[in-house]
Amino acid sequence: MKISILKVIATLAVFVGFAGFVNAQVKDETPKRISVKSLVASGIPVNTEFVTVTKLEDNSVLTYSIANKDSQKLDAVDILLVVYGANGKAKGGESWRQRVDLTKDASADLSRLMKTKVAPGDRVVFSIYKAEGRTGQWGVETTKVVEAAKAFIAGNQYSLPEARFTKTK
């Protein structure tokens, strides 16, 4: 059987071209971890045990674990998340109330699909700025959290004020 060199070259060109096309169509599905800084004001009876953001294709998933440090049961925490680009400018943020059922020394592992787009090189600041229990709530103003986040991103000294406790009536 006689095969012409031109047919071999043409076949190889088609195969290599097709392989290149297939490789161009496959998306990188390797999860990418994004740096996260956790800020919790002293006086708020919650610890963050871990906080991570994982980027997979077009989605960013926040995963975090919180623990109750108080003797009373906690019912909710208010969370603020701010995303900064690699250039240090705020790209976006979100806040939400997370209902929890945390008795003394209990912890919960939670996750959330983020609305704000996060890219490798971005920096994320996660803050629990309020916690609510049976007898009242602890909290700091969100403006103080944003100021501390900006200072952290800029590489400056930062601190959150002591959380205030407000008794429920």
Domain residue limits, the chain? 32-167
φ and ψ at 30, to 5 degrees? -75, 120
d(CA 38, CA 66): 11
pLDDT digits (tens, 9 = 90+) for 50-102: 999 998 888 999 999 999 999 999 999 999 999 999 999 999 999 999 999 99
Q: Please state which of the ranges 14-23, 54-63, 99-108 shows the lowest mean pLDDT.
A: 14-23
pLDDT of 30 reads 79
Here the tokens at position 11 are: 């076949």
Neighbours of 78 (CB within 10 A): 18
Cβ atoms < 10 Å from Cβ of 15: 10
Confidence of residue 106 (pLDDT cuts 50, 70, 90): very high
CATH number for the domain running over 32-167: 2.60.40
Res. 120 pLDDT band, cuts 50 70 90: confident
> Residue written as tokens 């059922």?
101
Tokens 């906690």 -> residue = 74
State pTM to two decimals: 0.80
Average pLDDT over residues 135-148: 95
Backbone torsions φ then ψ of 3, nearest 5 degrees:
-115, 130
Say whether pLDDT at 27 is over 80: no
pLDDT of 28 above 80: no
